[in-house]
Structure 1
Amino acid sequence: MYVPRGTRLRTTAAVAVAAALALSACTVGDGNVTKASGGGSAVTLTFLTFENPNLTSEYWDAAIARASAKVPGVTIKKLVGTNSTAYLQQLYASGQAPDIMTSISPDGFAQKGELAAWSADEMKNFIDPHAGAIKGQTYALSFNVQPIPLVYYNKDDFAKAGITAAPKTYAAFLDACAKLKAAGITPLEIGGGGKDTWAAAFGFGAIVSSDMLTKTPDWFSKRAAGTVKFADPDFVAAAQKAADLSKKGYIDTAGLSRSYSDVEQAFRDKKAAMYPMGSWFSASLDKNKPSFDVGVFGWPSDAGQNVVPVVTGGGLMVNSKAKDVGLAKKWALAFAEDKTNLDNSVLADGLIIGIKGYTPPANVGAMYTQTLDIYQKAQQSGQTAPAWMNTAGDGSLPPGFSDQLNAAIVDLITGRKSPQAFAAYLDQRYAAATR
C-alpha cells in the first residue's frame, strides 16, 4: 500500500533529530546491502521504504535485488522508516533525506525543488503518466491504482441479520447497520490508535468521496484556491454522517485504540461485520483467509451509486540532490517496471497495476479478483471519485495537514468534536499549514 500513513505531526528540532537517529538505526547493515551487477566502483544510493504485514523486510530485499541486477554501478542501502509526509520533512530538515523514496506524496517537496521530475520519455510505459502532476511535472512514478477505501464485509453476518445483498444506497446502508445491530452484531470496524490514526480515516473518507467528490472532483484545488472551505455545508453534512454512525452505535469504538494490525485482526475475529479499508486488504484476505466468506462493495451514496474512491500514483521518487540523479532514476524505473516486482506487489499488497501491457499473475486470489472487478465496473460506469486524503498533485492537502486531520477524525467519531467544530478546526489548521 502506498497511501501516506502519517504519525501525528511532530515539529520540534529535537524530535526531528530523534527521527533521523531512529532512521539510522533502521538502516540495513553491510551484510544486507544489495549490490548492482557489473564491475567498477558502485554509487551507493539510499532507498527509504516502510514495512507492514503485507510488505515485509524480505519483500523489499527481494524487490531491491531484482532492480539492482538491472542497473550496473548502483549499490542500494535500504532505509526503513515511516511513509508519511511529516517523517520525510524531518529527514530533509536533518540533512538525511534519502536518494530514492516510495509511497509518499510529492506535494510540498516538489515545489521546493527537492525532487527530480520525470520526463515524458521516462514515463512512456505508464498508463497515466500525469497522475499526481504538480504544475505540469510528474515527480512520482504512477505505477499503481488503489481504491481507498472499499467496504469488505462478513457475508455470514449479513445473512444472520437478514440482509440479502450489499447496499446500493446510503439509506439501505443505514438499514443494514440497524439490522446488524439488532442481531447483536456491530456493523463497522473502524480504528487505529497511536501512530495508526490514519486507519480511522477511511470510513469518513468514503463519505466525503461519495457525497462531495462525485459532484466536485476538483474540490481539493478549490480549497487550495480558497473558494471552498471545510466549514461549508456539504463538508459539515459529510462529517455529520460520520458522527451519526458513531452515535447510533454502529462503530466498534474499541477499534480507535487498536493498532492497524489489531484493527485488521478484529475484523477477522468478527468484532464487526464491515471494514472500510484500502484495496491492499484483499491481498491480506487471500493470504490469510478468515473463517467466514467475505464480500466487497463500494461505499453507497444518497444517489444510489456504489462509489469507488481511487488514487493513482504511489511510485518511487528521486531526490533532486541524490548522489547520482541519473542512476537513481534508472534504478527507480527498473524497480517499478520489473514484472516480478509488479506481480509480487499484486500478490502481497493487492495493487492494480498502471503499466501498459501488464497482466496480473494467474495465481491471484479470489478477493483480489473481486476487488479488481469492483474497480473495473466502477470505471466503466463512471462511479469512481478521487480518494479523499490521498490525492497527490495540484490541490493536494498541504504537508503535515493529514496527520492533524487523522487525529481530528478520531475526535469527530468519539464525539469530542462536533461536526461544526471539526470543520472549523480543519480550516484553522489548513490556514496554518499553507502560510
Structure 2
Amino acid sequence: MRRSLVFGLVTLLSVTGCGVGAQQAGTQASGGKVELTFLVFETPNLDAAFWDAAIARASAKVPGVTIKKLVTPNVDRTGYAKQLDASGDLPDILQSVNPAGFAQAGKFAAFTDQELSGFIAPKAGAIDGKVYQLPYNTQVIPVVYYNKDAFEKAGITETPKTYQELLDVCAKLKAKDVTPFVLGGGGADTWADMYPLTGTVATDVYSRTPDWLSQRAAGKVKFTDPDFTKAVQKVADLAAKGYIDPAGLSRSYADTEQAFRDGKGAMYPMGSWFATSADNDKPGFEVGAFPWPSDDGSPVTPTFTGGGTSVSATAENVELAKKWALAFDEDKANNDAFVKADGSIPAIKGYTPPADMGPVYKATVDIYQQGMKDNSIVNAFSQETGDGSLPPGLADKAALAVQDLITGKKTAAQFGAYLDDQWAKATQ
C-alpha cells in the first residue's frame, strides 16, 4: 500500500463526507492557488494512504492546484454525489461516479478529443457522443476465480469451456460436499451478488445483441423477453440445485472474499480487481481463473471500461481541474499502484503493468487479451455507462432482486417483470 507523500507546495486535507458542506468547493487558496475538492472512495484495497499518495503525485504535475480530499461514506458513490449536488456542494473532481444524469443536466464538463487522445477506448461511456468520465481502466466482470485444490479433490482436471461443463463441475463439487459458488451481498454490498447474472446476460443476451440496453431504452426489447429470461433462469437454477448457498447473501463483500479464502466454496465469480488481492494475500490454496462459459463454448468477455475522473462544469477553474484529472489518471506510478492494489487493467496507450505482477493477475489479463483477440468483448450487465446503460438507481434494484431470485422469492419471469416496472418508474 502506498504511503502518503508530502510535497512542499501541495496541501492534502482528508475529510469525511459529513464535512463536505463546511467550505465552498473550488475556492481560491492562499498564495494564489486554486483549491479543488476531489471525491474518492475507500476500500480495503484502496485505503486513505493509497489515495493520499496518488493525489500527491498528480498535484506535483499541476502547479497552482491544491486538493481537498472528500471521502464517500458508503459504496453508492453516484448516489452520494447526487446528494452533494442537491445541497449545492458538488465536488470539483469526482472519482468513479456514473456521469449519467449529471452530464445531461450540464453538471459535468466534457473532455475534448485531444484530451482523450491517450486512452485506448476514448469514446467508452460516451453520452450523446461526448465523454464525461475518463476511460482509464478496464475490468473483466466477472472472472470465475477457483480453488485449484478443491477442483483436484473433486476429480476436475480442466476448467469448463461450455455452460454444461460448468454445471458438471458444480455437480462434482457438490458431490464432495463443497459448495460450488461463493456469493455475497449483505448490508450495503448488495452489488456483490450480481456476477452470475452478469455472466449469463453476457453469454445469452449481449453476445447476440450488444446494444440490448439501447434497444431497451427504445422500447424494442424487454426484460421479460425469452433471451433475458433464459439468462435469469440459469441463476435461479444454480440456486435451486444448491450450487449457490442462499445463506451467503448476508455476507459483506469483505466477508465474501474471506469465505472464498477459507474454502467455503470452490468458485468465486468476481470482478478482475480480486486478482491482485489473491496474489498479494495468498489463501492456503492456488487460485486459478477462467471466463464465464457460454452454451456452445464460444468466447464472451464482459468488460467495463471507464471509472476514471469526472470534472464539475461549475468548478472555479474547469480547465485546471481537467488538467489535474488527466494527470491523475495518466500518471504511470498511479496506474502501477492501481494495478498492484486493485487489479486494474489500465486502458492507457503504451501502458504496461509491472513485470512482477502475480500469476492470478496475469491469468486475468490473459482472459481480457484473449477477448480482444477473439473480438468477444461485450458490456458487463449492471456496469454499463454512457448511452447504453441502466437508468440511475436500477442497478441497485437489480442487485436486490437477484437476492429474491436466489432465495426463491421471485421467479425468472417475475424478476424480468420487476425490472421492466422499475425501468418505467425510473424513466417516466
TM-score relative to the length of structure 2: 0.92
Matching residue of 1:5: none
* 2:134 maps to 1:141: yes
1:83 deviates by 4.7
SS state at 2:32 partner: coil
Measured after TM superposition, the shift of residue 395 of structure 1 is: 2.1
| Partners of 2:289 and 2:364 within 8 A in 1 | yes
Q: Deviations over 1:366-399 (max 9, x none)?
A: 1111111111112112232211111111121111
1:331 corresponds to: 324
**1:306, distance to aligned residue in structure 2 (A):** 4.4
SS in 2 for 1:300: coil
Q: In structure 2, what is the equivalent of residue 23 of structure 1?
A: 17
**Secondary structure of 1:367's aligned partner:** helix
- 2:253 corresponding residue in structure 1: 260
Q: Aligned partners of 2:59 and 2:125: how far apart in 1?
A: 26
Pair 1:290 & 2:290 matched = no
Task: Give structure 2 stretches of 5+ with no counterpart.
Answer: 1-14
SS of the residue 2:167 aligns to = helix
Residue 233 of structure 1 is matched in structure 2 by 226
CA distance in 2, matches of 1:69, 1:297: 40
1:415 is matched with: 408
Given that residues 108 and 399 in structure 1 are in contact (C-alpha distance below 8 angstroms), is that contact kept between their aligned partners in structure 2? yes
Partner of 1:40: 31
Does 2:77 match 1:77?
no
CA shift, 1:204, in A, is: 1.0
Identify the residue that residue 367 of structure 2 maps to in structure 1: 374
Q: Which amino acid aligns with 2:31?
A: G
1:49 aligns with one of 30, 40, 43 = 40
Deviation for aligned residue 1:28: 12
Q: 1:68 to 1:54 in 2, by over 3 A?
A: same
Instruction: Please say if 1:246 is aligned against 2:246.
Output: no
1:68 maps to what in 2? 59
**1:273 and 2:266 are equivalent in the alignment:** yes
Decide whether the 8 Å contact of 2:299 with 2:374 is kept in 1. Answer: no
Do the aligned residues in 1 keep the contact of 2:339 with 2:353 (CA within 8 Å)? yes
| Contact in 1 for aligned 2:16/2:71 (Cα 8 Å) | no
- State the TM-score, normalizing by the size of structure 1: 0.91
Q: Deviations over 1:101-149 (max 9, x none)?
A: 0112211111111100000111111111111111110111111111011
Classify the secondary structure of the residue corresponding to 2:70: strand
Q: Is residue 212 of structure 1 aligned with residue 205 of structure 2?
A: yes
CA distance in 2, matches of 1:121, 1:384: 25
Query: Paired residue for 2:349?
Result: 356
C-alpha deviation, 1:26, in angstroms: 7.8
User: Shift in Å at residue 247 of structure 1?
Assistant: 0.6
**How far apart, CA to CA, are the structure 2 residues paired with 1:27 and 1:269?**
42
Residue 101 of structure 1 aligns with which residue? 94
**Alignment-derived partner of residue 177 in structure 1:** 170
TM-fit CA distance, 1:260: 0.4
Instruction: State the distance in 1 between where 2:400 and 2:235 align.
Output: 14
Q: Does residue 321 in structure 1 map to residue 317 in structure 2?
A: no
Do the aligned residues in 1 keep the contact of 2:216 with 2:222 (CA within 8 Å)? Answer: yes
Which stretch of the first structure deviates more once superposed, 298-307 or 212-221? 298-307
Deviations 1:298-357 (A, max 9, x none): 001112134321111111000111121111101101101111001101111111111111
1:160, distance to aligned residue in structure 2 (A) = 0.9
Offset at residue 156 of structure 1 (A)? 0.6
Give the Cα–Cα distance (whole angstroms) in 2 for the partners of residues 300 and 383 of structure 1.
Answer: 12
Picking from 148, 155, 159, the partner of 1:166 is 159
Give the alignment's Cα RMSD to 1 decimal: 1.9
Q: How far, CA to CA, are the matches of 1:383 and 1:137 in structure 2?
A: 25
Q: What is the rounded CA distance, in whole Å, between the counterparts of 2:182 and 2:288 in structure 1?
A: 15
Alignment length, in residue pairs?
Answer: 408
Task: Confirm or deny: 8 A CA contact 1:27 1:77 kept in the other structure.
Answer: no
* Cα distance between partner residues in 2 of 1:27 and 1:333: 26
Q: Indicate if the aligned counterparts of 2:199 and 2:292 stay in contact, CA closer than 8 A.
A: yes
State the 1:22 CA deviation.
6.7
Contact 1:204 1:242 in 2 (8 A): yes
Residues in 1 aligned to 2:399 and 2:289: alpha-carbon distance in whole angstroms: 24
Name the SS for the 2:301 alignment partner.
strand
Q: Give identity over the alignment, percent.
A: 57
Q: Aligned residue for 2:147?
A: 154
Give the partner amino acid of 1:63: A
Aligned residue identity for 1:55: L
Structure 1 residues not aligned, in runs of 5+: 1-20, 30-35
Instruction: Give the SS at the match of 2:189.
Output: helix
Deviation, 1:24, is 2.5
